[in-house]
């Protein structure tokens, strides 16, 4: 457990909780603690789904600008790979991941939210990639994940202007998937994650890998990725359980074992 980031596990759901007052700024220490929590969540069999949460007040307001301002070009050459890979560790969790977004998710905070499979946000949340206003660009996946999520023209608008995006616009353009009152964000994210605690874990993993890897390749290669993942699931115990249950009891009644 890190000083500012911890993995809390209850009833099959792991919460990666960021708690660095006042605004959850993502300095190097927090980045590395996020990586550690993500790797732990990925490895633990008792974690079947993950919530990324910054608390009731703010998700993460961005990188630690004071720390970053002191860095030279060579410093950032050394650090930029670690910055990207720390957040990418969240995207690589082979389980369903939901970001519970309250308050601000800006810069690196928005990029962290983009690493989740879906984003449930407060109806008064604010998101954005304001790096251009500092004379830089997003460096932890924003130019790539945001573009894949909302399309190139909308991503260019947000990144070129650095403007803040209110919750209703974020929902309209697909930057977030659901809006709820601020005091319900974490509960809604937990509810979404809990629906997978008894699901077929390897089928979920195969679905996530097929979608994510398929986005990076042409259609023919994506179809081959899907075919291989599909066939591989016939080696799992859950596939046998699921099909037997369907034949005997109808759909939706299988009790999977995650194997």
pLDDT of residue 34: 97
**Does position 63 have pLDDT exceeding 90, yes or no?**
no
Name all domains of the chain by residue range, CATH numbers in brackets: 5-194 (3.90.226.10), 201-249 (1.10.12.10)
Catalytic residue among 54, 60, 111, 199: 111
Active-site choice (41, 49, 63, 182): 63
Average pLDDT estimate for 230-243 = 95
Answer whether residue 98 shows pLDDT above 90.
yes
Annotated catalytic, 216?
Answer: no
The string of pLDDT tens digits covering residues 159-198 is 999 999 999 999 999 999 999 999 999 999 999 999 999 9
pLDDT at 158 over 90: yes
- The catalytically annotated residue of 107, 108, 128, 139 is 108
pLDDT band, very low/low/confident/very high, at 253 (cuts 50, 70, 90): confident
pLDDT for 233 equals 96
Active site residue 131: yes
Q: In the predicted model, is pLDDT for residue 64 greater than 90?
A: no
Q: What is the DSSP string of 133-194?
A: GGT----SSIIIIIHHHH-HHHHHHHHHH---EEHHHHHHHTSSSEEE-GGGHHHHHHHHHH
pLDDT, one tens digit per residue, over 119-137 is 999 999 999 999 999 999 9
Query: 89, 128, 131, 254: which is the annotated catalytic residue?
Result: 131
Per-residue pLDDT band for 71 (boundaries 50, 70, 90) equals: confident
Query: Is omega for the bond preceding 22 within 30 degrees of 0, making it cis?
Result: yes
Query: Is 248 an active-site residue?
Result: no
Where does the pLDDT of residue 93 fall: very low under 50, low under 70, confident under 90, or very high at 90 and above? very high
Average pLDDT over residues 135-145: 95
Looking at residue 5, its pLDDT comes to: 97
- pLDDT of residue 199 exceeding 90, the answer is yes
3 is catalytic: no
């Amino acid at each position: 457990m890190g000083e500012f980031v911890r993995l809390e596990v209850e009833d099959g759901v792991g919460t990666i909780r960021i708690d660095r007052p006042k605004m959850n700024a993502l300095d190097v220490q927090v980045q590395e603690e996020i990586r550690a929590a993500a790797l732990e969540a990925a490895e633990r069999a008792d974690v079947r789904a993950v919530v990324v949460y910054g608390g009731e007040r703010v998700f993460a307001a961005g990188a630690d600008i004071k720390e970053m301002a002191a860095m030279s070009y060579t410093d950032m050459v050394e650090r930029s790979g670690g910055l990207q890979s720390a957040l990418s560790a969240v995207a690589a969790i082979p389980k369903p991941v939901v970001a519970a977004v309250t308050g601000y998710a800006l810069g690196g905070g928005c990029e962290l939210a983009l690493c989740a499979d879906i984003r449930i946000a407060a109806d008064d949340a604010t998101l954005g990639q304001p790096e251009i206003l500092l004379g830089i660009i997003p460096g932890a996946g924003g130019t790539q994940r945001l573009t894949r999520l909302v399309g190139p023209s909308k991503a260019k608008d947000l990144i070129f202007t650095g403007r803040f995006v209110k919750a209703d616009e974020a929902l309209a353009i697909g930057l977030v998937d659901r809006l709820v009152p601020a005091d319900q964000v974490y509960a809604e994210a937990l509810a979404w994650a809990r629906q997978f605690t008894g699901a077929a874990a390897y089928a979920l993993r195969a679905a996530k890998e097929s979608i994510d890897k398929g986005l990076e390749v042409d259609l023919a290669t994506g179809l081959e990725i899907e075919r291989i993942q599909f066939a591989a699931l016939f080696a799992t115990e859950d596939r046998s359980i699921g099909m037997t249950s369907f034949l005997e009891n109808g759909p939706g009644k299988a009790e999977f074992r995650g194997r």
